[in-house]
Chain A
Amino acid sequence: MERLRQTPSQTVGPFFAYSLTAQQYGYPYDSIVHHALLGPATPGEHIYITGRVLDGQGAPVPDAVVELWQANAQGQYRTAPINPRDDDGSEFTGFGRVGTGTQAGAVFRFETIKPGAIGPGQAPHINVTLFMRGSLHGLRTRLYFEDEAAANGQDELLNAVPSERRATLLARCVAGGGLPGYHLDIHLQGAEETVFFDV
């Protein structure tokens, strides 16, 4: 059977903000998703997630866009369409997007809930996609939680990662910020290079 050829990937460039993350950056356009994946009434443990994207010299990347996609507290992915202008903000979208250009130190920060495990052999995790200037492809990885050691030990995907590199996917617990917090630095290169996935 004849297959169509895929459209090649290209870089997001440095100037995505006024379209993809307009409200975060203060441009006169709306945004379809934000740093908050939840509303005040969303069931589950409310947490925040911070992190940085670090280049081959360890410098924080200030022009990356980070997307999270995750299950809710019951381990279910949202299947209903996201209708930002109809939702009252209380529903869990499971999808968030921020740029790294508005916080000191090029930190990204999300507010969400701790996801439930989506099934046996699956530890709680969040899918992470990165785009940035200098990246000809989107980079895909996962965020796991360091305080889920037992579940992490059973996770099928984590177990497919060479053991010496698993720590690159573990967000560490941090104090402060009013909510339970987790921090994950994503290293594009170097000794701590994050494991990225080929999908």
Chain B
Amino acid sequence: MDLVNFDVQPPHLYPPYKSTILRSPTRPLLPVRELIKDLSVPVFGESVLQQFDNDLTKNARVNGEPIGERIKVAGRVLDEAGRPQPNVLLEIWQANAAGRYVHRSEVHDAPLDPNFLGGGRVLTDREGRYSFYTIKPGAYPWGNHHNAWRPNHIHFSVLGHQLAHRLVTQMYFPGDPLFEFDPIYQSVPAHARELLVAKFRMDWTDPEFALAYEFNIVLGGRHQILFE
């Protein structure tokens, strides 16, 4: 049986990412999938979305366009069998073009953008497709180790249709020179890191408006394949 699906996941404890040391379980997780495999999870309807929730370049404007490189991110949400997952809620958040989060605990002194919040959400359609506009996020330093910088990334929170489908992940941009120095990215086994990296799609660009990236999301529990 092919266990590659298990192998794509990072461990709970990954000491180079220092915050895992005191915050990761030390005992094996209890296998309970057989007991809860039929458990549904909340489903959200269209009214969860406001007009510009899928356009982070518009949903927080005060007096103008947000600063930075406008991009489109699009893709599909699928299960491991390749079946499209409709009506999946994606919540997204990110730093601005200068690498600054709109968050009171943020200490990086890059500028805030008065016209950019960095938060949004989108529902997948019947074919599992989603798309949103945003500003390409910047890199920023963090306190994990000397001269630690996060690669450019967008956070995704995914509410699929089963408890095992609840996922939080991060989308990265191709060719980022910070990959080899970032322990959060590196926590994923080397052969699976490409799954976190969006593909540049020249054919999906909006001419004269925005470059485009494709990021597909595949949902499944850690051990799901064992019970098929």
Contact = CB atoms under 8 A, between A and B. Distances in A.
Interface string B78-91: 11111000010101
Interface of A: 1, 3-20, 22, 25, 27-30, 32-33, 55-57, 59, 61, 63, 67, 69, 77-86, 93-95, 101, 127, 129, 131-140, 156-157, 160-161, 188-189, 193-199
Contacts of B29: 196-198
A78 B42 CA distance: 7
7 contacts: A5-B5, A8-B192, A19-B120, A19-B121, A56-B22, A86-B47, A160-B32
B45 A81 contact: yes
Contacts of A22: 119
B172 to A, nearest CB: 9
Contacts of A30: 50
B48 A199 contact: no
Contact of B91 (A13, A20, A79): A20
Nearest to A59: B22
A93 B48 CA distance: 13
Contacts, number: 253
A4 B170 contact: no
A95 to B, nearest CB: 4
B177 to A, nearest CB: 19
B102 A61 contact: no
B25 A188 contact: yes
B170 A10 contact: yes
A86 B45 contact: yes
Interface string B175-188: 00000000010011
B43 A81 contact: yes
A134 B14 CA distance: 9
Interface of B: 2, 4-5, 8-12, 14, 17-33, 35-36, 39-48, 50, 59-60, 78-82, 87, 89, 91-93, 101-106, 117-121, 155, 157, 163-164, 166-170, 184, 187-188, 192-193, 195-196, 216-225
A198 B44 contact: no
A10 B39 contact: no
B132 to A, nearest CB: 13
A199 B221 contact: yes
B19 A133 contact: yes
Nearest to A61: B23
A136 B187 contact: yes
Contacts of A129: 163, 166
A198 B222 contact: yes
A20 B90 CA distance: 11
A12 B9 contact: no
A83 B196 CA distance: 31
A152 B203 CA distance: 57
Nearest to B27: A193
B25 A196 contact: yes
Nearest to B93: A19
